[in-house]
Amino acid sequence: MTSRGETLRQLASQSLLSHFADLCDGTVIVDADANVVWMSDRYLGRLGIDVPAAAIGRPIEEVIPNSLMRQVVESGRPIMVDIMDFGDDAFVVTRLPLRDAGGKVVGAVGFMLYDDPRHLTPVVARFQRLRADLAEAERKLVAERRTRYSFTSFVGLGPACAELKQAARRAARTSASVLILGETGTGKELLAQSIHAASPRAAGAFVAVNIAAVPETLLEAEFFGVAPGAYTGADRRGREGKFKLADGGTLFLDEIGDMSLALQAKLLRTLQEREFEPVGSNRLETADVRVIAATSRDLEKMVAEGAFRADLYYRLNVIRLETPPLRARTEDMPLLAEYLVEQICRRQGIAVRGIGADAIARLRRHGWPGNVRELSNVLERALLMTDSDLLEAADLDRVMPSVAVEPAWRAAAEGRAPAGLAETVAQAERRAIHAAIEACHGNKAKAARMLGISRAALYEKIAVLGL
Ligand SMILES: Nc1ncnc2c1ncn2[C@@H]1O[C@H](COP(=O)(O)OP(=O)(O)OP(=O)(O)O)[C@@H](O)[C@H]1O
pLDDT in tens, 69-78: 999 999 999 9
- pLDDT score for 415: 64
**Residue to probe by mutation, ligand 1, list 371, 373, 376, most atoms within 8 Å of CB:** 373
Q: Where do the CATH 1.10.8.60 domains begin and end in the chain?
A: 327-399
CB of 38 closer than 8 Å to CB of 60: no
Q: What's the CATH code, domain 151-322? A: 3.40.50.300
What distance lies between CA 77 and its chain's CA centroid? 34
Q: Where do the CATH 3.40.50.300 domains begin and end in the chain?
A: 151-322
What is the residue with the minimal CA distance to atom 27 of ligand 1? 184
Give the homologous superfamily in CATH for domain 13-121: PAS domain (3.30.450.20)
C-alpha separations of 262 from 52, 245, 258, 313, 445 in Å: 57, 22, 12, 14, 20
**Residue to probe by mutation, ligand 1, list 154, 333, 372, 451, most atoms within 8 Å of CB:** 372
Q: Where do the CATH 3.30.450.20 domains begin and end in the chain?
A: 13-121
Tell the CATH topology of 408-465. Answer: Arc Repressor Mutant, subunit A (1.10.10)
Length of the chain: 467
CA of 186 to the centre of ligand 1 (A): 5
pLDDT confidence band for 128 (50 / 70 / 90): confident
- pLDDT at residue 48 tops 90: no
Mean pLDDT throughout 255-271? 94
**Residue to probe by mutation, ligand 1, list 186, 253, 295, most atoms within 8 Å of CB:** 186
C-alpha separations of 461 from 138, 213, 421, 429, 448 in Å: 44, 21, 17, 9, 11
- pLDDT at residue 406 tops 70: no
- pLDDT score for 197: 92
CA of 214 to the centre of ligand 1 (A): 20
CA-nearest of 86, 87, 68 to 78 is: 68
What is the residue with the minimal CA distance to atom 28 of ligand 1? 373
Amino acid at 136: E
CB of 89 closer than 8 Å to CB of 26: no
CA of 294 to the centre of ligand 1 (A): 12
Antiparallel, parallel or unpaired: β 26-31 and 105-114: antiparallel
Is 185 near ligand 1, meaning CB less than 6 Å away? yes
**Cα–Cα dist 391/121, whole Å:** 62
CA of 439 to the centre of ligand 1 (A): 11
- Please give the sequence-ordered ranges of beta strands (E in DSSP) within 76-230, or none if there are none: 79-86, 89-99, 105-114, 178-181, 206-210
Tell the CATH topology of 327-399. Answer: Helicase, Ruva Protein; domain 3 (1.10.8)
The C-alpha R_g of the chain, in whole angstroms, comes to 32
**Cα–Cα dist 294/341, whole Å:** 27
> Which has more confidence, 285 or 462?
285
Q: Where do the CATH 1.10.10 domains begin and end in the chain?
A: 408-465
Lowest mean pLDDT among 152-166, 176-190, 352-366, 419-433: 419-433
